[in-house]
Amino acid sequence: MAKKLEVVLPNEAEGLRLDQCLARYFEPLSRRGARVALELGCVFVGKKRVKVASRRVQAGQVVRVHLGEVFERALAGDGPVPAPLDVLFEDEHLVVVNKAPGVPSAPTLEGDVNCLPWLLQQRAPAKSQRHNTIQVVHRLDVPTSGVLVFAKTAPAQRQLSEMFKRHDLMRRYDAFVHGRYPVDSETLSTPLDGKSARSHVQVDARFEAATRLRVTLETGRTHQIRLHTSGRGHFVLGDRRYGKRTPIDPPRLALHAAELSFDHPISKQRQSFVARLPHDLATWAAGLRPCVTTS
């Protein structure tokens, strides 16, 4: 389980190196543990992530360390296992990937190693990394798979961010929900966090105890599909937050970002990207019993 450690540095910490400070004031950390935490990116001075061991600290600064499973593995010598990387498209302005389940879309408090921007950045030679920083435009939850776009330049980042704010693109998801969905298609429009939210739902297939839906987002609120379908009485299978365990549980959250279409931020040409249902969900879905109708 992840834990957050926080210390307000006392007067005697003035001028210490950050790695010395971590080893002295954070009881679980040795000097080696401090170096590992810094390398993983789970150390914050104030609100800023810091990875420089030699940085001098000041009295009164708030230092936070977020330790989790990645840190424990690295401390044991296992190190981060490189996550799979499936690039669907790339040019000098953007990169589109098919995100694997379990991979963070962006750095987390527990570190920035093995998230998608970090993985994409590792492919570039050191000199070019300074000029093409991978910039997060939108995210998928860690257990969700599917299509994601990242910007590589500031103009592309601005244009893509505006598209997401205006909802000026097309996002379609495959979702397996519990039970038999009662209608073939409908629009769910329950507001979320006080903001308008619209999900266009269409049944793709019905099974004895589940339904495969195609959900097109008109808006993009946090956990929109999970909240809308659970509010309808049909939670996404594998969802431990808004649903519950069932006898037909999938290996992880049964949600996949299947398609993303938008106008290229620079060329303005329409771009469309499709990612097939990944092996883990496809194999699980093949074992679902089809719905048998009686006349």
pLDDT digits (tens, 9 = 90+) for 152-185: 999 999 999 999 999 999 999 999 999 999 999 9
Would the pLDDT of 125 be above 70?
Answer: no
Would the pLDDT of 124 be above 90?
Answer: no
Distances (CA, A) of 192 to 197, 243, 289: 6, 17, 33
pTM, entire model: 0.81
Give every CB contact of residue 284 below 8 A, 6+ residues apart in sequence: 250, 251, 254
pLDDT digits (tens, 9 = 90+) for 56-81: 999 999 999 998 877 887 787 765 55
Query: Is 42:65 a contact under the CB 8 Å cutoff?
Result: yes
Q: Which domains are delineated in the chain?
A: 3-75 (3.10.290.10), 87-286 (3.30.2350.10)
Q: How far apart are the first and last CA of the chain?
A: 52
Q: What is the DSSP letter of 12?
A: G
For 104, other C-beta atoms within 10 Å of its C-beta total: 22
The residues assigned a catalytic role are 141
Say how many CA atoms lie within 13 Å of 133 toward its Cβ.
8
b/e for 253-272, b at 16 or more Cβ within 10 A?
bbbbbbbbebebbeeeeebe
